[in-house]
A and B are shown apart, each in its own frame.
Chain A
C-alpha cells in the first residue's frame, strides 16, 4: 500500500479548506457570510462605541442597591456571611460529589470574584470586596479539604437542607439579639431575586410531589382535585397569581393575620411553581418501570412504603435536571414582582432610573440587569446540561 506516503488532500485540511467548507460552500452560503459578516461588524462597532461612552456611573454608583437593595449598610455583613456559608457548602460538595458540583463551585467563585471586581469601582467599600474575595478562596479551601479527606455525603445533604432556614434567620434576625431584625421590606436587589426563586422552588417541592402523586392516584376525588389545581395554575399567567397573592390573599385570611409583601410574593411564587414541580415529578414517576412497583408489592410493601422507599427516590433523582431548568425560569420570572411593587433587581433598576441624576440612562441600567441574569442563567443552564449528561437522563 502506497497510500501512507501520499500527502494529505490539500482541500480537506487547513484554514483555507475550513473557510471553504464552513463559510463559502455554495454561492448562497457565500452571500449569507458576506452580508451577515458586514452586519455583525457594523453592530459590534456600534455597540462598542456605545459601551465606551455609556454612563456606567449610574450602575456603579448604585451597585449596593442592585446587590442587596435597602438592606442596612451596617448589617450588610450578614449577606456576605450567608454567602460564606453557601461557599463552604459548595466547596465541600464539590469535593464530595464530584464533577457537576465542581462546575457549580467554579461558577459561584467566579461570580463572587466578578462582583468583587465590580465593587472596586463603586463606593460600597473595601470590606465587601474583601468578604467576597475571602468567600471565593473559602470555596477552594473547603474543596481541597473534602477532596482529600473523603467527606461523608449524608451530613452535607442535611446541611444543605438546613442552610435555607439558617440563611433566613441570619438575614431576618430578631430584635434584642446581636442580630437586629431587618424587615423583609428592606430586602431587595439581587438578594431578593435569588431568595424569591430559591424559596419558590424549595417550598413548592413537597407540595409538588404530593400533587404529582395525587394526579396519579387511583382515588378519583384526589386525582380530580390535583389535576384541577395543576391545570388551573398552568393555564393562567404568573402575573395574575402574584396579583392574587398581593391583593386577594389578605382578603382570604382573617384580618389579624398580617403578611408583609415579600412573604405574600413568596407565597404566590410557591403556589405557582408547585404546579410546575408537580408536572416535572410526574414525568419522573412515569419513567419508573412498573416492574419496580410490582417487585415492591411482591416483597409485601404497602402503598405508602412502595412510594417512599422505591418509587420516589428513583423518580426524584431523575427530575433534578428538569428542576434546575425550572429554577432558571423561576429566577427570570421573579422579575414580575416589580409589577406588584417589590424592589428585586429589576425593580431597583426602575427606582434608580427615577433618580434625577440617572435621567435617560435606560439602556445602561437594563443592559446591566440583563447581563446579571445572563451570567447566572447561562452558568446554571450549562451546569444542568452537564448534570443531565452525567446522570444519563434520556439515554438509558
Chain B
C-alpha cells in the first residue's frame, strides 16, 4: 500500500481521505454488492431447480419440441427441435415488426401532415384519431380488433368478398399471391440495367452539380428510365402471375392467407404506432423555423421545392431520433401477440418454458433476442441519423 501516496512527501494523506483510494473503494463496494446479489439469486435458483430434479442449461434446445405452431414462414413440424421452434417464433416477430414498421411509417406521415392541413375537417379528424389512440392501451385496442372485429367476421360460407380478389371471413384474410414464372430472370435483367442507368445518372448529376454545370435534371431522367425499364420489362416478360384464392367446399385454397391473429396484431400495431409517429412528424415539421419557409419562398422556390429542399431535410433531423424509439416500441409491443395467440418469439418462448420446466434459460434467450433486435434497429437508425444530421464545421 506504499505506492498509493507517491505525491505526498511527509507520510502523505491518510488512506480514508485519499480521493483515488476512495474512488476505487466505492467501485469495489458497488461491484461486490451486485455480485453478491447475483450470487444469492443464482444459488437460490439452482437449489430450486435441483429440488425439482431439473438442472440448468441450454441442452434442451436440441430436443424434440413436440408442440404445434399455428403459422410459420419456414417449414416446421412438432418433431423438429426446440431451436427450430424458437427460430420460427423469432421470424414471426421479425415479420410482423418489419411489415408493421413500413405501414406505420406511411400512415404516420399521412396523419402528421393531416394534422397540419389547411382543411379544418381533416385537421380535426387527425387530432381526434391521435388523441383516442394515444390515450387508450394498446392491449385494449388489440382485444377490440381481434375479438370484436376479426372473430365476428362471417363464417366461411358467408365470406365477405371485395371484388374477386380479397376475401374476409373468420379464418382470416385471403389475398392473391404472386407466383414467379419463367419470365422472372429476364425481368430481373431489365431491373439491373435500369438500376445501373439510374445510379450512373445520379453520379453524373452530382458531378455536374459539384462542378457548377447545369444539371438538366439528369438524376430525375435516370429514375424515370429505371421506372420505364422496370415497367416495360414487366409487361414484356410477365415475371409474376397472381394466383387468386379459390373457394372450395370448406375453405379457400391458393393465394395468400393471413390468419386473423396476424392481421389483428398487424392492424393494432400499425394503428397504434402511427398515432405516435404522426405526432413525431408534426413536431418535426413545426420545428422548422418560419423564417426558413419565408426565405425559401422569397428565393422564388415553388411550394413543392420549398417542401422538398427546405422543410423536409430540416424536419428529418428532428424526426429521426424519436422515430427510432417508435420503431423500437413497435418491435417490443409485438410481444402482445401472446394475448391474441399469434406465435411470436415470446409466445413460443412461454410454451418452451412450460414444457421444459426451464424458464430461466428460455427467458435469457428471449430477452437476449429482443435486446439484439433493439440494438440492431438503433444501430441502423443511428447510421441513418448521422447521414441526415448537419455537418458541423
Contact = CB atoms under 8 A, between A and B. Distances in A.
Interface of A: 22-23, 25, 29, 32-33, 36-37, 40, 219-222, 225, 232, 234-240, 243-244, 247-248, 251-255, 328, 332-333, 335-336, 338-339, 346, 349, 362-363, 366-367, 369-370, 373-374, 377-378, 381
25 contacts: A22-B120, A32-B121, A33-B121, A221-B28, A221-B30, A225-B30, A232-B371, A235-B371, A235-B375, A239-B336, A243-B350, A244-B367, A248-B363, A251-B45, A251-B359, A251-B360, A252-B41, A255-B48, A255-B51, A332-B138, A335-B137, A338-B139, A366-B144, A370-B137, A370-B141
A191 B27 CA distance: 42
B374 interface: yes
Interface string B350-393: 10010000011001001100110011000000000000000000
Interface stretch (B128-136, B164-172, B263-271): B128-136
A222 B359 CA distance: 29
B141 A338 contact: no
Contacts of A332: 136-138
A237 B370 contact: yes
Nearest to B350: A243
- Nearest 5 CB-CB pairs, A to B? A22-B120, A252-B41, A377-B135, A221-B27, A235-B374
Contact of B140 (A219, A239, A255, A373): A373
B44 A236 contact: no
B289 to A, nearest CB: 15
A219 B44 contact: no
B359 A23 contact: no
Interface residues of B, number: 55
B48 A247 contact: no
Given A236-B370, A240-B335, A370-B141, 12 more contacts: A33-B122, A222-B26, A232-B367, A232-B371, A236-B371, A237-B335, A251-B44, A251-B360, A254-B44, A255-B48, A363-B144, A381-B135
B155 to A, nearest CB: 15
A257 B116 CA distance: 56
Contacts of A234: 374
Contact of A377 (B30, B121, B136): B136
A237 B346 CA distance: 9
Contacts of A378: 131, 135
B137 A346 contact: yes
B197 interface: no
A237 B374 CA distance: 10
Contacts of B48: 251, 255
A374 B137 CA distance: 9
B121 A374 contact: no
A218 to B, nearest CB: 8
B30 A336 contact: no
A362 B375 CA distance: 38
Contacts of B336: 239, 336, 339
A367 B141 CA distance: 9
A40 B119 CA distance: 15
B295 interface: no
B118 A240 contact: no
A253 B140 contact: no
Contact of B132 (A22, A25, A338, A374): A374
B227 interface: no
B199 interface: no
B339 interface: yes
A367 B144 contact: yes
Contact of B147 (A222, A240, A366, A374): A366
Interface in B262-311: none
Contacts of B45: 248, 251-252
B48 to A, nearest CB: 5
Contacts of B151: 362
A373 B136 contact: yes
Contact of B119 (A32, A237, A252, A374): A32
Interface string B93-119: 000000000000000000000000011
B121 A222 contact: no
B31 A221 contact: yes
A178 to B, nearest CB: 37
A248 B143 contact: no
Contact of B121 (A23, A225, A333, A362): A23
Contacts of A251: 44-45, 48-49, 359-360
Interface in B294-338: 328, 332-333, 335-336, 338
A219 B23 contact: yes
A289 to B, nearest CB: 21
B125 interface: yes
B27 A222 contact: yes
B34 interface: yes
B220 interface: no
B148 interface: yes
B208 to A, nearest CB: 35
A219 B363 contact: no
